[in-house]
């Protein structure tokens, strides 16, 4: 019997978000609670959350030895979410970066967070601790160092590209046994690799799609850890993410111009014209409208999108793009929007309301990722009747049945990861939009009817917790 799960995450919707991990951390624990699991969440109390009017309740103070001294943090609480309050480490604006650069003390900050999570797990009597990405990967290391072997640990890799790499000179900041600084654990080519602790020391490791779980065991996708991942293949699995279907619900979304559903699509047109006006695009119902919402980084294949935008504009199509990230991509996109006014519109920034409007207002959604652990936007698109155009990688392969690939296609597949293949697929989608309305409606409807909720994935996590808990108990007999 599972007593209590503590879900540790550096970002949780609606409190702090830089990407999909926040959505998962907001929705999966709630879905687990719906299944009757006592599941609490813990995250750092970042400056903007502390400064907001959120009514936080004081849970208590924790003290723990850290080297020769004693560290202290307050624990605040909002419903099922616990916040680690320590101004020195978290009382600042950004989560991990300032002006696109990592904070220099990120190792110390997230070591502190991990150590505080261990303390909270003890206080709450958690028997399962579920860690997510490198920022929480030290939790199993502290549990091991403190001989808290009775707690089951799960580590979910949401993105292997961010491993938490630091210089060996920072090792003393971790206050971990010296023997952990060795290649079997945290050492990586003479430096520190925080994610390795999560992979090596957890009872089970999973990624957020079965395809990505296979891919990361190959050198092309393994980001230097494919050998290690192959060696733990016996405890590595993939569980696809869901989306929060209450937040992302076109029939009941306060952030879109008009409601619509698979049965009554009439509101979708109003959403399209509203988006065209909002983004300064020509208000033309007959122009195929392509959306992009993305971190502007190499992973997302932004360099594939740039060369096809002039083609889209020339074909009388439109693009609505929202994103932020690497300055070079931001500048190129701004230039393209100036070059094709009314056809290509770009908003650089993070804007949740506009994200909803783009999902609701577009005809197609472009997501040509070079690798994609799971991806949420393609599932959100399906739910909003916006046809996803995706590459054949990771979660995009697992969630989007493309035209020609199965009985109920929901999208289009870019056959290779290059601009030429993307351009061909975009041309095909424009043709379908203009000349094959029956197929267009079918793709749309199939997507809207696909189950993208957390209900199945949450059950799979519960199964995983139960299996690991049984293993641990049988080990102790």
CB of 281 to ligand ADP, least distance (A): 18
Size of the site for ligand ADP (CB under 6 A): 17
Residue with Cβ nearer ligand ADP (75 or 396): 396
Parallel, antiparallel, or unpaired: how do β-strands 289-296 and 387-390 relate?
unpaired
Residues in contact with ligand ADP, shown as a per-residue x/- string from 360 to 379 under the rule CB under 6 A: --------------xxxx--
Residue with Cβ nearer ligand ADP (27 or 432): 27
CB of 36 to ligand ADP, least distance (A): 27
Region near ligand ADP per CB under 6 A, out of 17-25, 163-171, 332-340, 402-410: 17-25
Q: Does 162 bind ligand ADP (CB under 6 A)?
A: no
Residue nearest to ligand ADP (CB): 20
Distances, alpha carbon 448 to alpha carbons 61, 220, 247, 256, 440, in Å: 47, 33, 15, 17, 13
CB of 429 to ligand ADP, least distance (A): 20
- Which H or E element spans position 206? strand 204-207
Q: Does 181 bind ligand ADP (CB under 6 A)?
A: no
Q: Single out the residue of 331, 352, 449, 463 in contact with ligand ADP (rule: CB under 6 A).
A: 352
- Scanning the structure block, which residue is given the tokens 């917790």? 465
Q: Does 19 bind ligand ADP (CB under 6 A)?
A: yes
Q: Single out the residue of 10, 20, 250, 291 in contact with ligand ADP (rule: CB under 6 A).
A: 20
CB of 296 to ligand ADP, least distance (A): 8
Residues in contact with ligand ADP, shown as a per-residue x/- string from 282 to 311 under the rule CB under 6 A: -----------xxx----------------
Residue 470 and residue 249: Cα distance in Å, rounded? 37
Residue 338 and residue 334: Cα distance in Å, rounded? 6
Residues 177/202, Cβ–Cβ less than 8 Å: no
Helix (H, G, I), strand (E, B) or coil at 287: coil
Residue with Cβ nearer ligand ADP (324 or 401): 324
Residue with Cβ nearer ligand ADP (18 or 442): 18
CB of 323 to ligand ADP, least distance (A): 5
Residues 368/292, Cβ–Cβ less than 8 Å: no
Q: Does 23 bind ligand ADP (CB under 6 A)?
A: yes
Residues 302/422, Cβ–Cβ less than 8 Å: no
Residue with Cβ nearer ligand ADP (23 or 119): 23
Q: Does 42 bind ligand ADP (CB under 6 A)?
A: no
Residue with Cβ nearer ligand ADP (18 or 261): 18
Residues 6+ apart with CB under 8 A from 122: 148
Q: Does 355 bind ligand ADP (CB under 6 A)?
A: yes
Distances, alpha carbon 431 to alpha carbons 201, 288, 315, 418, 436, in Å: 52, 10, 10, 20, 7
Q: What is the 3-state secondary structure (H, E, C) of 122-164?
A: HHHCCCEEEEECHHHCCHHHHHHHCCCCCCEEEEEECCCCCCC
Residue with Cβ nearer ligand ADP (21 or 107): 21
Residues 447/381, Cβ–Cβ less than 8 Å: yes
Q: At what angle do helices 419-435 and 437-449 cross, to 10 degrees?
A: 110
Instruction: Respond yes or no on whether the N-terminal peptide bond of residue 14 is cis (omega within 30° of 0).
Output: yes
Residue with Cβ nearer ligand ADP (11 or 203): 11
End-to-end CA distance of the chain: 16
Q: Single out the residue of 324, 381, 391, 468 in contact with ligand ADP (rule: CB under 6 A).
A: 324
Residue with Cβ nearer ligand ADP (20 or 44): 20
Tokens found for residue 408? 């109920």
Residues 202/140, Cβ–Cβ less than 8 Å: yes
Residues 433/274, Cβ–Cβ less than 8 Å: no
Q: Does 95 bind ligand ADP (CB under 6 A)?
A: no
Q: Does 5 bind ligand ADP (CB under 6 A)?
A: no
Q: Does 322 bind ligand ADP (CB under 6 A)?
A: yes
Interacting residues toward ligand ADP by CB under 6 A: 19-20, 23, 293-295, 322-324, 350-352, 355, 374-377
């Amino acid at each position: 019997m599972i007593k209590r799960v503590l879900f540790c995450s550096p970002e949780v919707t609606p409190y702090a978000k830089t990407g999909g991990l926040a959505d998962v951390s907001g929705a999966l624990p709630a879905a687990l609670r719906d299944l009757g699991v006592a599941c609490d969440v813990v995250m750092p109390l970042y400056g903007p959350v502390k400064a907001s009017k959120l009514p936080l309740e004081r849970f208590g103070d924790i003290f723990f030895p850290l080297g020769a001294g004693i560290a202290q943090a307050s624990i605040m609480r909002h419903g099922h979410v616990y916040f680690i309050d320590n101004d020195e480490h978290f009382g600042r604006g950004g989560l991990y970066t300032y002006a696109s650069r990592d904070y220099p003390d990120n190792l110390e900050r997230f070591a502190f967070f991990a150590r505080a999570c261990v303390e909270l797990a003890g206080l709450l009597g958690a028997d399962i601790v579920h860690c997510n990405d490198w920022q929480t990967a030290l939790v199993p290391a502290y549990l091991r160092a403190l001989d808290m072997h009775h707690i089951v640990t799960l580590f979910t890799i949401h993105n292997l590209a961010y491993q938490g790499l630091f210089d060996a000179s920072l090792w003393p900041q971790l206050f971990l046994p010296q023997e952990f600084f060795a290649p079997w654990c945290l050492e990586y080519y003479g430096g520190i690799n925080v994610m390795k602790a999560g992979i090596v020391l957890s009872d089970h490791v999973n990624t957020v799609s079965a395809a990505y779980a296979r891919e990361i065991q190959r050198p092309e996708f393994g980001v230097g850890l494919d050998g290690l991942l192959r060696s733990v293949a016996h405890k590595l699995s993939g569980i696809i993410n869901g989306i929060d279907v209450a937040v992302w619900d076109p029939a009941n979304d306060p952030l879109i111009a008009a409601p619509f559903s698979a049965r009554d699509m009439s509101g979708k047109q109003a959403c399209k014209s509203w988006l065209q006006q909002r983004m300064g695009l020509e208000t033309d119902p007959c122009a195929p409208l392509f959306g992009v919402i993305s971190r502007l980084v190499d992973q997302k294949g932004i360099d594939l999108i740039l060369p096809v935008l002039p083609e889209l504009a020339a074909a009388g199509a439109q693009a609505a793009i929202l994103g932020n990230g690497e300055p070079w991509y931001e500048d190129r996109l701004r230039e393209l929007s100036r070059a094709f006014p009314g056809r290509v519109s770009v908003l650089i920034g993070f804007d949740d309301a506009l994200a909803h409007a783009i999902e609701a207002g577009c005809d197609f959604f472009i997501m040509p990722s070079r690798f994609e652990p799971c991806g949420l936007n393609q599932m959100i698109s399906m739910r909003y009747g916006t046809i996803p155009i995706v590459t054949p990688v990771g979660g995009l392969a697992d969630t989007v049945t493309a035209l020609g690939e199965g009985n109920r296609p929901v999208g289009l597949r870019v056959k290779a990861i290059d601009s030429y293949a993307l351009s061909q697929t975009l041309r095909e989608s424009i043709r379908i939009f203009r000349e094959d309305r029956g197929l267009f409606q079918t793709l749309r409807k199939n997507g809207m009817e696909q189950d993208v909720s957390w209900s199945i994935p949450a059950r799979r996590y519960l199964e995983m917790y139960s299996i690991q808990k049984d293993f641990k108990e049988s080990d102790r007999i």
